[in-house]
Amino acid sequence: MASPDGTSSGSSHPLNSGSGEDLQAIMHQKKLKRMISNRESARRSRMRKQQHVDELMAQANQLRKENRQLLTNLSLTKQHYAAVEYENSVLWAQVMELSSRLQSLDEILDYLNVSNMSVADTSPSGAWNCSYMNKPIMASADSMFYY
């Protein structure tokens, strides 16, 4: 409502007096406060992002290091496997050679035993001395294979 002097009835209220300038000042303060708050929030966000990037870089470096170690271990394991595989093939070849020799010796023993029986019947003592037959045959792996 208008008063008799032409001013509005609300103009006598202290908040409304000079309200244009005070309101601008309050809005400006709020704007500055919000701007400072936003800048601080952005700074914290950048710091979190940088920390996350640093952690990812450290993790990537650690994984690269582990990868190099695993590749080294894999290479050594492959070399060891190849050596063991070669040794296994040599051992199998020796087994085959020794089996063949054993079979030959068994055949010789069988032949001698058959011959011994026919000779034992005619020998005066009635026994055949075969003590040399019970001794083990010693063979080295070097004598079988030439590398």
Token readout for 124 is 């005066």
Which pLDDT value is given to residue 69?
Answer: 98
Q: Report percent pLDDT > 70 for the chain.
A: 67
**Pairwise CA distance, residues 84 & 94, whole Å:** 15
- Give me the pLDDT at residue 89, please: 96
- Tell if the pTM clears 0.75, that is, is over it: no
pLDDT at 145 over 60: no
Q: State the Cα angle at 44 between 25 and 53, rounded to 5°.
A: 155
Strand positions, DSSP E, the chain: none
Mean pLDDT of 72-79: 98
Q: What is residue 130's predicted lDDT score, i.e. its pLDDT?
A: 53
